[in-house]
Structure 1
Amino acid sequence: MSISTRTVAAREKAQGALTWRIIPNIWDPKSNPDGFVSLGAAENSLMHDEPNQHVRDNFSPSNVASTYVDGMTGTKRLKAAMAQFLNRHLQPFQPLEPSHIEVTNGCSSAIEHLVWGLSNPGEGFLLGQPYYGTFTPDIQSSLRRSTPTSAIPRHGSPSHPHNPLGRCYTRDAIIGPMRLCEKYGIHFISDEIYALSVWNNTVDEGEPVAFESALSIKPTVIINPSRVHATYGMSKDFGAN
């Protein structure tokens, strides 16, 4: 059975990655005491018991949740709950409504959908370094191997709070790229999957920068609001990979 060249390349790259040899053999005190303790995956294992118990005690979906009645991007109930949750924690300059939210199976899929929907083959993506390694395949799967010499930027995306540096951008550091995006007609995508995984740093010298969502910045004279997008996921803050 033949497969695409993209699939062959992705499979060969994955087979050489140490991560996929470790994940099937993760340490467990009872079932796998000789397994690996992985420090290379952003998983909050200490949170597994709490959200799982909460779901068992409180989750009672209606039959509508198993249908397409509410569309393909999340039920009305879920979007309403997410809007309320994000308004409370991200404090956007304009309250989010359920209609502002699209639900996907993770931030990787959300980024891929955004790139696919906002750009054409041959166009590029501005991404500051260092960056989360999986950004590259997420973006390339939509842009189809754009070359640096020919790619026309259509998006700029900070990881905020930053991955892998673990720091939050200052307000000015967010506004600057927003102005750049507006000047050149580029969409601004803020990856905020770690938005609530922030705490006071009492070890390093200097006052740490507090997290401020890109959605909390009033875009007047900075950027057209239609160019601003933010992604958020449950995997980090709720240990729900």
Structure 2
Amino acid sequence: MEGVSKMLEYLSERGKKWVRTLPPLVKAHFDNFYNMYDKETNPKGLVNMGTAESHLVNKEVCNLLRKSAEHMDLTGYNIHYNKFEGSDEFRTAIANHWQKIIFGEDRNVVLGKEQVATCAGCTVALETLATLLAEPGDAFLIPAPYYSSFVDDINERAGVLAVGVPCDETLSRDAFEKAYEKLT
């Protein structure tokens, strides 16, 4: 903590408010970052079971992405800054997917790219939504099981509570409606 104390003297008052002890899961992630298991290069390394990513399948995922890239029509548009909300193609694909998953045959609601914005990961998406849409003390219904740091991610700055909705590999609109009714 000595290094943190020294650092504080250089921070603004606003910056000092953000300095805190990391949650145990986040601290473990960064403590283990430079000692990750790899069968060939670091067989005595650690496997981080607390972060929602698997480095054990890196080779397979990279190969799949390379294979997929062969079928993509990549242009300069794809490799530079894009729209803040994400590319039209990506948002359209997401809208089509969620239309099927959430609304199915119900045509009273039709999702299009205009109703979709993307972020660089679930954590930043949830925190952004919590900060912009909810008041402190409001609750977010999140499919459970979920990444345990979501609790800190949406509560730390936004003051929003995470409420898990038990789900299997599919999302159930009914489960979310029941959880919502329970809260209201």
Q: Normalising by structure 1, what TM-score?
A: 0.53
- CA apart distance, 1:98: 1.1
Supply the AA of the counterpart residue of 1:124.
G
- 1:83 corresponds, among 84, 92, 95, to 95
**Which residue does the alignment assign to 1:142?**
157
Secondary structure of the corresponding residue to residue 158 of structure 1: strand
- CA 91–48 in structure 1, closer or farther in 2 if over 3 Å, else same: same
Identify the residue that residue 176 of structure 1 maps to in structure 2.
Answer: 178
Does the Cα contact within 8 Å between 1:26 and 1:37 map onto a contact in 2? Answer: yes
Instruction: Give 1 or 2: higher helix fraction.
Output: 2
Q: Would you say 1:13 and 2:22 are equivalent positions?
A: yes
Count of residue pairs brought into register by the alignment: 162
Aligned with 1:86: secondary structure? helix
* Cα pair distance change 1:160/1:101, threshold 3 Å: farther
Cα deviation, residue 168, structure 1: 6.6
Q: Which runs of 5+ in 1 are unaligned?
A: 147-152, 184-241
Change in Cα spacing, 1:32 to 1:127, as seen in structure 2 (3 Å) is same
Aligned to 1:194: none
Match of 1:64 among 77, 88, 95: 77
Distance in 1, matches of 2:150 and 2:52, equals 15
Aligned with residue 36 of structure 1, among 42, 46, 63: 46
SS in 2 for 1:139: helix
Do 1:108 and 1:138's aligned partners in 2 also have CA atoms closer than 8 Å? yes
CA contact (8 A) 2:166 2:175 kept: no
Note if contact 1:111-1:139 (Cα within 8 Å) is conserved in structure 2: yes
The verdict on how the C-alpha distance between 1:78 and 1:160 changes in structure 2, with shifts beyond 3 A counting, is farther
| Cα-to-partner distance string for 1:79-121 (whole Å, 9 max, x where unaligned) | 1122233345x1524442111211101111111111111134x
Alpha-carbon distance in 2 for matches of 1:50, 1:87: 30
TM-score, length of structure 2 as denominator length: 0.66
Q: CA RMSD in A?
A: 3.5
Counterpart of 2:164 in structure 1 is 158
Give 5+ residue unaligned stretches, structure 2: 1-9
